[in-house]
Amino acid sequence: MKYSVIVPCYNCEHTIIYSVNSCLKYMKDRKDIELILVNDGSTDSTAQILNTISQNDKRIKIVNKQNGGPSSSRNMGIEKATGKYILFLDSDDEFIDDVFSIEPDNNNDVLIFGFYQNIIPARCKIDYIPFSDSLNYLYSNNFLNPVWNKIYSRDFLISNNIRFSDMMYGEDRIFNADIIEAGANISILNKIYYNYIIRDNLSLTSKYLPEKFEDILIIYERYKNILGNTDELRFGLIKGIISTAVVMIGGDEKFSDEKIKRNIGEIISDPIVMSAFSDKIGGDSYREILRKVICSGNALLNFCMMKAIYFIKKYFYSVYLKYRK
């Protein structure tokens, strides 16, 4: 078996057929590709849809498990995979070119390819095409964050015992950090094969996760060990602070302004945050303004700034993306 495609599936009855068909389109009649659909304890009709999809195609394997999140589903998929190479596909995304025509070099442990970020509510589509295998470049341009824009050597994952952690946020980034620290040979392919689709209201109605900011700090510390304390890494930490605050302001749980200010105050007074932003951050003036406000230690000032960013993100998302990227 050459390729194993792993798809975590949880309550995805409205999108899974779309994603699976995008894979089958390029699998064609090849017998050296398997599609592993991991049903993570779905409570809608996902399980029935998966059974129907697999009935007439022996290359499709269905794995049913208790709900444990995408990390446990991907780990289960890795255990069941028999292919030389592993790819990951999210249940609401799609392949948009023949990723199976890629012939990785035998020395490749990881091959990174390009993708679109397709934000449907904002009618915005951004292309990400890698042009360098420098780790600083790959981090700065969002290529190290996901797992679905990569082809992984299964032998490398198994021999180095690399699996997804049970973090609430950013488990894919830690997975890639583990791979880098294990000495993976990383190559790039400057062509787009994947369409990453954001269908909801720009993540403004996300559930607040108390552990999220702790995970953001773990990611920052891990990549600081790999890359050094670069300006891009510090800006990534700023984006993590903003995303945490924005979810508190506009998420599903309704927090009082006082509680949000208190939580923001705790975040900006964290010793890791204070140390990270003690020096000027390079790039445009927007980044430096954000750093100075965070470094002020003023919870009210930061609360007002986060409120303004929330408003821009909600009503002028294209402007927000321009500066966030």
Only one residue has tokens 């602070």, namely 241
User: Does 225 map to a domain?
Assistant: yes
Structure tokens at 78: 């890795």
Looking at the fold, whether 153 and 223 belong to one and the same domain comes out as no
Looking at the fold, whether 232 and 302 belong to one and the same domain comes out as yes
Looking at the fold, whether 135 and 86 belong to one and the same domain comes out as yes
Q: Which amino acid is at 71?
A: S
Q: Can you tell me the mean pLDDT for 210-220?
A: 91
User: Does 306 map to a domain?
Assistant: yes
Q: Is 142 helix (H, G, I), strand (E, B) or coil?
A: coil
pLDDT band with cut points at 50, 70 and 90 for residue 251: confident
User: 105-128 pLDDT, tens per residue?
Assistant: 989 999 999 999 998 766 778 899
User: Does 203 map to a domain?
Assistant: no
Query: How confident is the model at residue 48, as a pLDDT?
Result: 97
User: 12-41 pLDDT, tens per residue?
Assistant: 999 999 999 999 999 999 999 999 999 999
CATH number for the domain harbouring residue 95: 3.90.550.10
Looking at the fold, whether 161 and 237 belong to one and the same domain comes out as no
Looking at the fold, whether 43 and 126 belong to one and the same domain comes out as yes
Determine which helix (DSSP H) or strand (DSSP E) holds 192, and give its type and residue range. Answer: strand 186-198
User: Does 269 map to a domain?
Assistant: yes
User: Does 147 map to a domain?
Assistant: yes
User: Does 207 map to a domain?
Assistant: no
User: 288-313 pLDDT, tens per residue?
Assistant: 999 999 999 999 999 999 999 988 88
Contact 84, 2 (CB under 8 A): yes
Only one residue has tokens 């007439």, namely 56
User: Does 205 map to a domain?
Assistant: no
Q: How many domains does the chain have?
A: 2
Looking at the fold, whether 45 and 193 belong to one and the same domain comes out as yes
Contact 306, 245 (CB under 8 A): yes
CA nearest to 87, candidates 35, 159, 50, 15: 35
Looking at the fold, whether 165 and 49 belong to one and the same domain comes out as yes
Looking at the fold, whether 173 and 226 belong to one and the same domain comes out as no
**Range of 13's domain?**
3-198
Looking at the fold, whether 133 and 239 belong to one and the same domain comes out as no
What 3 state SS string does 171-228 have?
A: HHHHHHHHHHHCCCCEEEEEEEEEEEEECCCCCCCCCCCCCHHHHHHHHHHHHHHHHC
Looking at the fold, whether 86 and 234 belong to one and the same domain comes out as no
CA nearest to 218, candidates 174, 263, 156: 174
Looking at the fold, whether 255 and 193 belong to one and the same domain comes out as no
